[in-house]
Amino acid sequence: EEPRSEEAPGEAGEAELPTSVPYAGMRRSIGDNMLASLQTTAQLTAFAEVDVSEMVGFLDLVREEYKKDESVRVSYNDIIILAVSRALKRHPIMSSILVGDEILMYDSVNMGIAVALTDGLIVPVLKDADKKGLLQIAREARDLAARAREGKLTVDDVTGGTFTISNTGMLDVDSFTPILRPPETGILGVGRVKRKPAEYKGEIALRHLMTISLTYDHRVVDGVPAHEFLQTVGRYLQHPTLIMT
């Protein structure tokens, strides 16, 4: 009797069929919007590594000050929202939208905050972020994120943005290239805070570093003013006391 080879379950030579997931609903909407963004805007991304050791110390100080107040829960992202909001006031072209033949610049900063959901991504908008302090930003941003995950956002909560922040630091991502949300001119990508050797006061020391990336619409703003904005954001994160100036 000839030996018989063992075969995997199923018919011999038959490939396993893949699992089919409908490309529809929120997934289709996100895909269509991202593709349209890349096809209709002139996107360019700049990266900057920032020493955020002072920001880390500042967050520790805030948490220690309000440790007995359960209503106060401040994160790195809240400080970044505050810093970017203030930087946009110094560089208003970055808080603009392109509509037809007009570039519209706003007096107020309406900050889009990307929130990951189980089946996609949504960007609620923190209105008048430039007029709010750190604790108010922390409370409102946390409320928006909670209502986003519960599916309780209103149309007003997700419209009217003038700039967006996408933070993937909690996923241990160092840096990435964010995609614009037209008609906005800019979006800031935020990587993780990582402790590693760096030059500090002429010596090598362990410092907290973070990479930020700015994607902007080159039709609206040129490289120099866009990079100057990124530089201002970096200085604010490096020296949080400058935010108050």
Q: 233: closest CA among 50, 44, 56, 45?
A: 50
| Residues β-bridged to residue 165 | 113, 188
Q: Three-state SS string across the chain, please? A: CCCCCCCCCCCCCCCCCCCCCCCCHHHHHHHHHHHHHHHHCCEEEEEEEEECHHHHHHHHHHHHHCCCCCCCCCCHHHHHHHHHHHHHHHCHHHHEEEECCEEEECCCCCEEECEEECCEEECCEECCHHHCCHHHHHHHHHHHHHHHHCCCCCCHHHCCCCEEEEECHHHCCCCCCCCCCCCECEEEEECCCEEEEEEECCEEEEEEEEEEEEEEECCCCCHHHHHHHHHHHHHHHHCHHHHHC
60 catalytic per annotation: no
Q: Is there a contact between 121 and 179 (Cβ–Cβ < 8 Å)?
A: no
172 catalytic per annotation: no
Q: Is there a contact between 84 and 233 (Cβ–Cβ < 8 Å)?
A: yes
From the candidates 32, 143, 174, 218, which is the catalytic residue? 218
Structure tokens at 50: 């920032």
Q: Is there a contact between 217 and 186 (Cβ–Cβ < 8 Å)?
A: yes
From the candidates 91, 222, 227, 239, which is the catalytic residue? 222
Active site residues: 218, 222
